[in-house]
Amino acid sequence: MNQKSAPPPIVFILIFLALIGGGYWFFFKREAVPGNITSPINTPSTSFSSPSSLPSGTTVKIDGSTSMVTINQNLKRAFERQFPGTSVVTSANGSQNGIADLIAGRVDIAAISRPLTAQEQSQGLVAVSVTNDAIALVVGKANPFNQGLTSAQVADIFQGKINNWSAVGGSNGTIRVINRPAISGTHQAFQEIVLKKANFGTTPNIATLPRDATTPLLQALGTDGIGYATFAQVANQQTVRFVPIDGLTPDANNYPYQRQLFYVYKNSASPGVQAFLGYATSPQGQQAIILNN
């Protein structure tokens, strides 16, 4: 019985070379395909080192979130002490205005209390996480409501579905909701985290402040209002009381309303910006934030 002859050795060699070539393309070249999420091309740096010295006269201008006023001031003092002759100029006109000022070149860094959007990133903006923060729900000290709320109740209150304190276990009376303006990063973070991207309510009991500032919000609470603010700004306030959410206060590790705070720069960062961001994220900078908040 005749047996078929085996393929010549050259066939096996060609198959072997084809497999090697295919493996090389799959594991190495595919990263360069446009749109592939594993591509490392054009990834800007978000990490800087704190320098040992800086030229006298170096100035860094910051504008943005009112939630980061205390952080900005703490880092300003520590940075200027660490590098004599430097100057950090800070303003707090809201996250959105800080972004606009950065894009226009009026400031060097925007302080924001929400992540960058895809559109903002496409404009060359890069965010550096500075610290974590909690959004606290607050009522006036004299408000008779002294219970906690569930996350669902908070969402219903700020969407106008619940507008009487009796619906959440309090006395009969209208809940006055004090909202922050849309330019506020805390407003945007609250909508994202608490309302799950749903819109705020427009019922008559909901009032929006004309500007993003925490002090006027606290003053407006009275005995029947509820509002929200960054925990760092209200932690030591004597005129307000925190409302526990799902049984947790803002200082709890598993508190539900937590977010990151960011400094944003426009690529490429100047030496002064690199120095400030490097210091802010260094152990010394992080210690300055912790000790003074």
Q: Tell me, what CATH number does 149's domain have?
A: 3.40.190.10
247 is a domain residue: yes
* Distance from the first to the final alpha carbon of the chain: 92
Q: 252, 258, 255, 263: which is closest to 286 by C-alpha?
A: 263
Residue 107 has pLDDT above 80, yes or no: yes
64 is a domain residue: yes
Please tell me the predicted confidence (pLDDT) of residue 46: 60
* This prediction's pTM: 0.73
Same domain for 240 and 266:
no
**What would the two tokens of residue 92 be?**
């707090």
Domain that holds residue 274: 59-132+260-292
273 is a domain residue: yes
Same domain for 79 and 168:
no
Residue-by-residue DSSP string for 169-189: TS-SSB-EEEEPPTT-HHHHH
Same domain for 85 and 128:
yes
Domain count of the fold of the chain: 2
Mean pLDDT of 226-239: 92
Contacts of 106 (CB under 8 A, 6+ apart): 61, 63
Q: What is the mean pLDDT of the chain?
A: 86
In terms of Cβ atoms closer than 10 Å to its own Cβ (0-12, 13-18, 19+), residue 278 is middle
Confidence of residue 45 (pLDDT cuts 50, 70, 90): very low
Give the HSE-up count for residue 261: Cα atoms under 13 Å, Cβ half-sphere. Answer: 26
Mean pLDDT of 218-236: 94
Please tell me the predicted confidence (pLDDT) of residue 89: 98
Same domain for 85 and 106:
yes
Please tell me the predicted confidence (pLDDT) of residue 21: 47
Same domain for 96 and 161:
no
Phi, psi at 285, each rounded to 5°: -65, -45
Same domain for 186 and 234:
yes
46 is a domain residue: no
Q: Is 162 left (phi over 0), alpha (psi -120 to 50) or beta?
A: beta
Minimum mean pLDDT range among 130-139, 152-161, 283-292: 283-292
SS3 assignment, position 139: strand
Please tell me the predicted confidence (pLDDT) of residue 253: 92
Same domain for 264 and 127:
yes
